[in-house]
Chain A
């Protein structure tokens, strides 16, 4: 049984190798074949192949993108990660959007589930899309959220 600490270490290595270095082989190895992603970006699939495709797409759109872990909470078979991604919108921030060439830096909170072998079976997460879009000058409004109670 993978411990919460081991799962947290996997998240750390995953972020470094997959997001920051583009090592999709590591993603392939650490995600189960029946992986379910609950928050794929619009137009993308949440299965394993679709999720790895999305990681590739992100690397392509924001080639200098770097993610940094700011906080982690690991308990049972779950790990929550709060991270900050900083990068340049080089090839278009969203499907169908022209690139702005501007930089952004925005946080996200992701929750991963692991099986007893320490492989990633599920994910959901929310990235501060509005924050990033406002920094890129693409925001429909400059408003934040302000609508839930913390």
Chain B
């Protein structure tokens, strides 16, 4: 299984909340450099907590890998997430309001020789989501 396959399988496992598979594919002491990661537990528990938090906010959460490629020990994935805010986003102070979101993130990951994720860097289009959630005004021209 190459690293890109690891990312596709991992995204599926997160979507299915299959944490046995997640634990097979992610190093216990993974370091995630995502804005907001500092609010989560370190390592793999933080990744799982973030995924569970996503399902709490958006119980119908779905993700789709739009693009994936890799070279050497690095992979890149571009993911689209859709869902309905039926649970609220506590971390952002947003109550449940039934609003749909449709946002992207891009992640660069570093893999160990056995394919496991050891370090990630991600950016998500948070302003777009905040506008969709109705908690931030649409910028001029949007």
Q: Which residues of A line the B interface, CB within 8 A?
A: 4, 39, 41-44, 71, 73-76, 78, 80, 82, 94-96, 107-109, 111, 124-131, 140-141, 143-150
A–B Cβ pairs within 8 angstroms, 10 of them: A4-B71, A73-B72, A124-B78, A126-B125, A128-B35, A145-B126, A147-B36, A148-B81, A150-B37, A150-B50
In the complex, what distance in Å separates the CA atom of A125 from the CA atom of B124?
10
Look across to chain B and name the residue whose beta carbon is closest to the beta carbon of A131: B35
Residues of B within 8 Å of A144, CB to CB, are 34-39, 91, 126
* Closest beta carbon of chain B to A122's beta carbon, Å: 11
Instruction: Pick the contact of A149: B14, B70, B78 (CB < 8 A).
Output: B14
Whether B48 pairs with A149 at a CB distance below 8 angstroms is: yes
In the complex, what distance in Å separates the CA atom of A42 from the CA atom of B91?
25
Q: A109-B106, A124-B78, A147-B91 are in contact. List 10 more A-B contacts (CB 8 A).
A: A71-B108, A73-B72, A73-B108, A76-B69, A109-B122, A124-B104, A128-B35, A146-B37, A147-B54, A150-B122
Look across to chain A and name the residue whose beta carbon is closest to the beta carbon of B56: A147
Instruction: Pick the contact of A130: B30, B78, B127, B142 (CB < 8 A).
Output: B127
Q: Which residues of B line the A interface, CB within 8 A?
A: 14, 30, 32, 34-40, 46-48, 50-51, 53-54, 57, 67, 69-72, 74-76, 78-79, 81, 89, 91-93, 104-108, 117, 120-127, 129-130, 135-136, 138-142
Whether B140 pairs with A42 at a CB distance below 8 angstroms is: yes
Residues of A within 8 Å of B108, CB to CB, are 71, 73, 80, 82, 109
Most chain-B Cβ atoms within 10 A of its Cβ — which of A39, A42, A94, A130? A130
A-B interface contact total, Cβ < 8 Å: 143
Whether A150 pairs with B46 at a CB distance below 8 angstroms is: yes
* Closest beta carbon of chain A to B38's beta carbon, Å: 7
Look across to chain A and name the residue whose beta carbon is closest to the beta carbon of B83: A147
Look across to chain B and name the residue whose beta carbon is closest to the beta carbon of A78: B69
Residues of B within 8 Å of A126, CB to CB, are 104-106, 123-125
Look across to chain B and name the residue whose beta carbon is closest to the beta carbon of A41: B139
Most chain-B Cβ atoms within 10 A of its Cβ — which of A109, A128, A129, A149? A149
Whether A73 pairs with B69 at a CB distance below 8 angstroms is: yes
Residues of A within 8 Å of B130, CB to CB, are 140
* Closest beta carbon of chain B to A78's beta carbon, Å: 5
